[in-house]
Amino acid sequence: MAQELKSLDKEKLKQYWSYNIKLTTFTMIVWFQVTYVAIIFTPQLNNIVIFGFPFGYYMGAQGSLIIFVILIFNYAFKMNKADKDYGVEEEEE
C-alpha cells in the first residue's frame, strides 16, 4: 500500500487532503451549531412546535441525534467517493 501511495501524484494527494479538510470543517461547523448554538437559542426555538413538542426540546431530545447520524453517513459517503476519485481507496478483501 505504501508503494502505491508513493506512485501517486503529489498534486493529486494535495487536492485530496484539501477536500478532506473542507469536508471535515463543514462537518464540524454543522456539529458545533447543532450542539452549542441551538442551546443558546432554546427560548426562541421553543416558540416553534413540531409534533406537539417545543422545537428546543425536540432538538435536544431527537433532532440533534438525527443530524449527527446524517453527518456521519454524509462524511463516510463523500470520503469513500473522494477515495475512489483520487485513487487512494483501500482494497476490499
Checking if the pLDDT of 74 tops 90, the result is: yes
In a domain, 42, yes or no: yes
Checking if the pLDDT of 52 tops 90, the result is: no
In a domain, 93, yes or no: no
Q: Record the pTM.
A: 0.77
In a domain, 18, yes or no: yes
Query: Would you place residue 5 in the very low, low, confident or very high pLDDT band (cuts 50, 70, 90)?
Result: low
In a domain, 1, yes or no: no
Checking if the pLDDT of 3 tops 80, the result is: no
What does each C-alpha distance from 48 to 40, 42, 53, 74, 77 come to in angstroms?
15, 10, 8, 27, 32
Q: Which three three-digit cell numbers place residue 15? A: 487536492
In a domain, 91, yes or no: no
- The total domain count for the chain is 1
Higher pLDDT, 17 or 92: 17
Its domain, for residue 28, covers 8-86
* Listed range (8-12, 31-35, 64-68, 84-88) with the worst mean pLDDT: 8-12
Query: Residue 49 in 3-state DSSP?
Result: strand
In a domain, 92, yes or no: no
In a domain, 3, yes or no: no
